[in-house]
Amino acid sequence: MFNIRKILTVSDYVTMLNIISGLLAIFLNSFSFVYLAVIFDSLDGYVARKTNTVSDFGAELDSISDVVSFGVAPAYLLYTNFESTLSLISAIIFCLCGALRLARFGILNVKGFIGLPIPAGALLVVSFCQLINNKMIDSIFAIFVGLLMISDVKYPKYPKKIFIYMFAISLILAMFGIPHFALLLCLIYAIYGLIKHFNR
Amino acid sequence: MFNIRKILTVSDYVTMLNIISGLLAIFLNSFSFVYLAVIFDSLDGYVARKTNTVSDFGAELDSISDVVSFGVAPAYLLYTNFESTLSLISAIIFCLCGALRLARFGILNVKGFIGLPIPAGALLVVSFCQLINNKMIDSIFAIFVGLLMISDVKYPKYPKKIFIYMFAISLILAMFGIPHFALLLCLIYAIYGLIKHFNR
């Protein structure tokens, strides 16, 4: 009756934790669960490679969970923070761009990323909203990040190990209410790609 | 800078209307937008076939938009209707099952559907919640529908034309606050598959 369980691997269960975190971010209106979702999202790829269980099903489930945690959740948090027409429109634009970014990623087979990856986009919007509570600035920023996700700007895939450790620490700090370092790291990453793009 | 626009077809824009409807259902806490999303979801496949623009990108975008409109939105409406632990758990289970159903659909290449399709699942949960306002019954029903989505029960893909017309009318009625016929049609569809499954 439930043969689907036969195709589920350990990394798929980690992906499910990503979806659950994204849903909790929405249901409980909590920024922290978006950071937790990023941790699970980073973990599932790692687990899939380590356990040699990279699969088409896993990749599909990954895209589907990413739009929940990094598309809908940040959009919802942005909208409910202000409940204005402007935040509604920018939230929709951000989530739409995220969905387009994920769909393009699903069909491309290139080294590195084209367009800012959606977890980085989500982190930017969520940490920015948490730190700067201004309807106009937050909404324009979210639209800018959305456009960066569907742009042709290239981003490196796996940064150096020291960067990954810093990133992990910044996420844990963000989960406990200190999103400054996560914002800073993601801003550096976003701007780095932009500078390289215009200096080609 | 935005080469992504070159791969977008008319049907992809219809899919985007599906995502927007799903987001509005969440942001505005409105059942009606889920029904509207089902209409756009039915339309985009039709448009893609008619304009001969069926693509991998379109299929990816479709899965991604479906989890927003038919996974997260019904789950959110179920949860916010009661804001209880039970509705939280059942909302998460429903959305998780929807995500698994979509990921499996993305990798399968079979005639007909395996497991209740997620738009039908969403319609069942949303119309049921709208008509029967009972925390316990709604939550158990959502879990049951979720399990049906990830089950091996087979469902026919394109029913007869008369059924499509009835379905379209039921959706329009549901959008205007009369979800009875949509619920009835989806219940018949869901039970039909179950009866055939156990009578093999």
Over residues A92-109, the pLDDT tens digits come to 999 999 999 999 998 887
Look up residue A44 and give its amino acid: D
Is residue B74 over pLDDT 90?
Answer: yes
Q: Give me chain B's average pLDDT, please.
A: 94
d(C-alpha B197, C-alpha B190), whole Å: 11
> Which pLDDT belongs to residue A49?
87
Alpha-carbon torsion (B118, B183, B142, B74), positive or negative: positive
Quick check: A77 and A126 in contact, CB under 8 A? yes
Farthest CA pair distance, chain A: 57
Rounded to an integer, the average pLDDT of B156-175 is: 89
Confidence label for B200 from pLDDT (cuts 50, 70 and 90): confident
- For A150, the 3-state DSSP assignment is coil
Instruction: Quote the pLDDT of residue B124.
Output: 98
Confidence of residue B45 (pLDDT cuts 50, 70, 90): confident
Task: Please give the domain boundaries of chain B with CATH numbers for all domains.
Answer: 4-198 (1.20.120)
Residue range A19-29, pLDDT digits in tens: 999 999 999 99
- pLDDT for residue A200: 77
CB contact (8 A) between residue A91 and residue B27: yes
Residue B26: pLDDT over 90: yes
Q: Which of residues 61-100 of B touch A (CB under 8 A)?
A: 61, 63-65, 67-68, 71-72, 75-76, 79-80, 88, 91-92, 95-96, 99-100
Question: Is the pLDDT confidence value at B36 over 90?
Answer: yes
The model's confidence at residue B1, banded by pLDDT at 50, 70 and 90, is confident
Q: What is the residue-wise DSSP string for B34-89?
A: HHHHHHHHHHHHHHHHHTT---HHHHHHHHHHHIIIIIIHHHHHHHHHH-SHHHHH
**A58, A48 in Cβ contact below 8 A?**
yes
Task: Dig out the tokens for B37 from the structure.
Answer: 């999303």
How far is the CA of B171 from the CAs of A54, A70, B168, in angstroms?
Answer: 40, 30, 5
- Please compute the mean of the pLDDT values over residues B182-194 and round it to a whole number: 96
pLDDT for B161 equals 82
pLDDT of the residue at B23: 98
pLDDT of residue A132 exceeding 90: yes
Interface test with A, best of B6, B9, B23 (most A CBs within 10 A): B23
Residues 131-160 of B with CB under 8 A from A: 147, 150-153
Which of residues A157 and B171 earns the better pLDDT score? B171
pLDDT band at A157 (very low <50, low <70, confident <90, very high): confident
Looking at this predicted complex, what is its ipTM?
A: 0.95
Contact criterion met (CB < 8 Å) for B68 and A65: no
User: How high is the pLDDT of residue B106?
Assistant: 83
- What is the reported pLDDT for A146? 98
Determine the pLDDT at residue B5.
92
Q: Which pLDDT score is estimated for B112?
A: 80
Which residues does chain A have within 8 Å of residue B4's beta carbon, measured at their own beta carbons? 100, 104, 115, 150, 152
- Predicted local confidence at residue B110, as pLDDT: 72
Band of the pLDDT at B108, cuts 50, 70, 90? confident
Q: State the average pLDDT over residues B38-56.
A: 91
SS3 A155: strand
Per CB-CB distance under 8 Å, the chain B contacts of A71 are 68
Over residues A52-93, the pLDDT tens digits come to: 888 899 999 999 999 999 999 999 999 999 999 999 999 999
Asked whether residue A111 carries a pLDDT value surpassing 80, the answer given is no
d(CA B126, CA B179): 9
- Mean pLDDT across A183-193: 96
Distance from CA of A159 to the nearest CA of B (A): 24
Q: Where are the beta strands (DSSP E) in A32-185?
A: 113-114, 154-155
Lowest mean pLDDT across B78-82, B190-194, B196-200:
B196-200
What is the pLDDT at residue A110? 72
Residue A1 has pLDDT above 80, yes or no: yes
pLDDT tens per residue across span B110-119: 778 999 999 9
Mean pLDDT value across residues A131-138: 96
In chain A, whose CA is at the least distance from the CA of B23? A92
Q: What is the mean pLDDT of chain A?
A: 94
In chain B, what percentage of residues exceed pLDDT 90? 84
Residues 110-129 of A with CB under 8 A from B: 115
Q: pLDDT band at B41, cuts 50/70/90? A: very high
User: At residue A154, does pLDDT exceed 80?
Assistant: yes
Beta strands in chain B (DSSP E): 113-114, 154-155
